Amino acid sequence: MNDTDTIVAAATPPGVGGVAVVRLSGPDVPRIAAAMLGSLPAPRYASYLAFRDARGELLDRGIALYFPAPRSFTGEHVLELQGHGGPVVVASLIEAAVALGARRALPGEFSQRAFLNDRLDLAQAEAIADLIGSGSAQAARAALRSLSGEFSRAVEAVAERVLELRLHVEAAIDFPEEEIDFLSDAALTARLEACEAAFHTLLERARAGRALADGYRVVIVGRPNAGKSSLLNRLAGQETAIVTEVAGTTRDILRERIDLDGLIVELVDTAGLRDDPDRIEAEGIRRAREALASADAVLLLRDASAADADLPPDETLPAGVPVVRVENKIDLTGGRAGLIGREPPAVAVSALTGSGFDALRTLLRELAGQGDSGEGTFTARRRHIEAIERAFAHFRAGRQALEEARAGELLAEELKLAHDALGEVTGRVTPDDLLGRIFAEFCIGK
């Protein structure tokens, strides 16, 4: 990838359509535009022109839009040719541009140039891909908020708090002869508390945004015949899993994606957990434990109609993952359906009749951070959350060093590391290999 080249690609999906867009970006755009269009179009005006190749042969007629640098998406000279949406037409326009000196763009190269030329930060650039891949209207709105910079501003606000703390601490270290001990000042304690609260809020919003962008993975576990497959079928609204009274019917992982009022949830049905399975069922149980390791939440089912029914031991569940205890088959017990506990979250349902499922759906949305219908949420990615968590860990390590050993120097160093970790979210501090991996996920032409 060479950012001094002029690149070209189709900005619309392959196939037949009414209109297709071919986009060029780079220093040679004015020369190539003049050759293909007869003259350079007026900036930012739609011009109806003939599109020709280097020999002057007519390829198509359509709308040409020219955006001179730096006022363009990429920050470079950009030309968009909007012609008829046929694969042959698109290919001929790209080949003509290549013959005149352009290079076929790599995946994400337009967005990468926008990032490198400070037209977007890294979180905004990733929001473009999130917007294109949105699985619901709510996810699309969240991606638009990230694209407009809302997520970046939230990260930068926390980064500014960390920087102010660091300056305060380093000033105290630089002037140890002052009579006032700044490191034990109540104002510093208040700043530390406010910064920690800001980290908590940012992490909550980022995790909710990640669930919107990537989907929320919910793994269903329990003893055989607890009703896991029936629960999945009821939530999915269709007969996805086989349901019988025979223990061990489910022997592999079953997955179903559902739209939970704008939140895309991936339901994972697993083999029943028990101590004496046969060889095939044992493999299903092993896969169930693997699925648990990547869960965002767990539905732990119990057959409420069986007096001696127990739950799988807690050590089989992943640490730090929300667990909802579900009492199933209340149609056989006459119990009350709905929410029966908050700490820990618990709900009573009947997978046969559907009783209690409204409460279960509401609880799942709350666990995913979408309890307020998700309005105001921005999209985030797993790498963003990892960077924020790493920054928060540095902050807490520094605070502990100050409180236990009055080690201001250690606090200052940890705050510096926290600030750098937050910079990875927006790209202010980003290794080149990470950039390559991020933009390789984009489609060609973006």
Average pLDDT across the chain, whole number: 84
Per-residue pLDDT of 136-146, as tens digits, reads 788 888 889 99
CB 324 within 8 A of CB 347: yes
pLDDT classification of 250: cutoffs 50, 70, 90: very low
pLDDT of residue 247: 45
Reported as type and span, the H/E element at residue 242 is: none
Query: Domain map of the chain by residue range?
Result: 7-119, 132-212+379-427, 223-295+297-367
Q: In the chain, what is the straight-line distance between the N-terminal and C-terminal CA atoms, in Å?
A: 15
pLDDT at residue number 178: 53
Q: What is the pLDDT of residue 224?
A: 80
CA–CA gap between residue 70 and residue 7 (Å, rounded): 16
Can you give the pLDDT at residue 375?
57
Q: Does the pLDDT of residue 284 top 80, yes or no?
A: no
Identify the residue with better confidence: 106 or 275: 106
Q: Identify the residue with better confidence: 435 or 115.
A: 115
Contact 3, 116 (CB under 8 A): yes
Query: Which residues, other chains included, contact 256 with Cβ-Cβ below 8 Å and sequence gap of 6+?
Result: 232, 235, 236, 240, 266, 267, 269
pLDDT tier, 280 (very low <50, low <70, confident <90, very high otherwise): very low
**428: three-class secondary structure by DSSP:** coil
Counted residue by residue, the chain has a size of 446
Band (286; pLDDT cuts 50, 70, 90): low
Quickly state the pLDDT bin for 3 (edges 50, 70, 90): low
Give the class (CATH, top level) of 223-295+297-367.
Answer: alpha beta
pLDDT in tens, 165-220: 988 888 777 665 554 456 667 778 888 999 999 999 999 899 888 888 878 889 88
CB atoms within 10 A of CB 34: 13
Burial class (CB in 10 A: 0-12, 13-18, 19+), 320: exposed
pLDDT above 60 for 240? no
Architecture of the domain delimited by 132-212+379-427 = Up-down Bundle (1.20)
Task: Determine the pLDDT at residue 241.
Answer: 46
Q: Which residues of 64-91 are buried (b: 16+ CB within 10 A; e: fewer)?
A: bbbbebeebbbbbbbbbbbbebeeebbe
Rounded Cα distance, 339 and 342, in Å = 8
Fill in the DSSP letter of residue 180.
Answer: S
- Tell me the range of 124-128, 175-179, 390-394 where mean pLDDT is highest: 390-394
Residue 105 has pLDDT above 90, yes or no: yes
CATH T-level fold of 7-119 = Gyrase A; domain 2 (3.30.1360)
Tell me what percent of the chain is helix, strand and coil, each rounded to the nearest 5: 45, 20, 35
pLDDT at 276 over 70: no
pLDDT digits (tens, 9 = 90+) for 303-329: 888 765 666 655 567 777 888 999 999
* Residue environment code for 305-318, b if the CB has 16+ CB neighbours within 10 A, otherwise e: beeebebbeeeebe
How far is the C-alpha of 312 from the C-alpha of 298, rounded, in Å? 12
Q: pLDDT digit string (tens) for 328-345?
A: 999 888 888 888 888 889
Q: What span, in angstroms and rounded, lies between the C-alpha atoms of 347 and 55?
A: 72
